[in-house]
Amino acid sequence: MKNELRSSALCVLGMTDPVQKVTLTQVLFEQQSGQINLDAYQQLTEQTGLELPGRPAKPELVSPLKVEHRTMHTSVGHAISLHALCHIEFNAINLALDAIWRFPGMPVDYYLDWLKVAAEEATHFTLLSEHLTTLGYAYGDFSGHNGLWEMVAKTKDNVLARMALVPRTLEARGLDAAPRTRSKLLQAGDKAGAAIIDIILRDEIGHVAIGNRWFGYLCQQRDLDPISCYANLAATYSAPKLRGPFNLAARRAAGFSESELQILLDAI
């Protein structure tokens, strides 16, 4: 009998070693790819003494204003930029695992969708961390900030807010940033890094689409207008204001409506 998915996701979320977390996330995905073992209605709670999410001792978490300066003009600045991407992907593994265990009563496809996201984020982290070693550095050698997880924590009691404000807001910002990041890597002569960004952008479109799918599902289920609902949630949870330029093609591919895109453009 395979381990139950949501309980296993909680266990992996609490793991502190990045290699172990990546490996067991992929194992969990492979185990559940056939017949899923899921208790969707089990009320899980955070285990006593388990700090979530599990993180290694390094990187040190600091204010976003205090992280090392990113630049492609020096070798260390190049490494800092890649390290920042590694840190984003490590946090993204955690947020996908959290979406699986924390919210009961969703359809089976919801849990399978977020398991797929977790596995792909684990692949992204591995690609970036391995590439970082070619520059002579490792994940944890520089500082990081906790911005992404802070919104995960804010929305821990509201699956609708989670879908609205993490994949559709914070992760969608990655769609906008990807073309600039890719261009900077190419200008620095880092073709391998640019190729990794291509993989990440392709997959992240799917991840944001999953957020859109389940936000739309919940709005329909609760008879809510998606646009006004999103605006209310963004205000209630103090979501960051989105600034252009926007990757409209990627956002369209991820399922944002033309009305939503026009709202973004009007706010510039």
The one-digit pLDDT tens for each residue of the chain (268 residues) are 368 999 999 999 999 999 999 999 999 999 987 788 999 999 898 776 678 999 999 999 888 877 877 788 799 999 999 999 999 999 999 999 999 999 999 999 999 999 999 999 999 999 999 999 999 999 999 998 888 899 999 999 999 999 999 999 999 999 999 999 999 999 999 999 999 999 999 999 999 999 999 999 999 999 999 999 999 999 999 999 888 899 999 999 999 999 999 999 998 7
pLDDT of residue 30: 93
Domain count, the chain: 1
147 belongs to a structural domain: yes
Q: Model's pTM, two decimal places? A: 0.95
88 belongs to a structural domain: yes
Q: CA nearest 125: which of 211, 41, 196?
A: 196
The span from the CA of 156 to the CA of 94, in Å, is 13
pLDDT of residue 34: 74
The span from the CA of 121 to the CA of 95, in Å, is 10
Range of the domain at 141: 5-43+64-266
49 belongs to a structural domain: no
pLDDT of residue 1: 39
33 belongs to a structural domain: yes
151 belongs to a structural domain: yes
pLDDT of residue 146: 84
pLDDT of residue 63: 84
17 belongs to a structural domain: yes
48 belongs to a structural domain: no
Provide the token pair at 154: 């804010």
16 belongs to a structural domain: yes
The span from the CA of 182 to the CA of 180, in Å, is 5
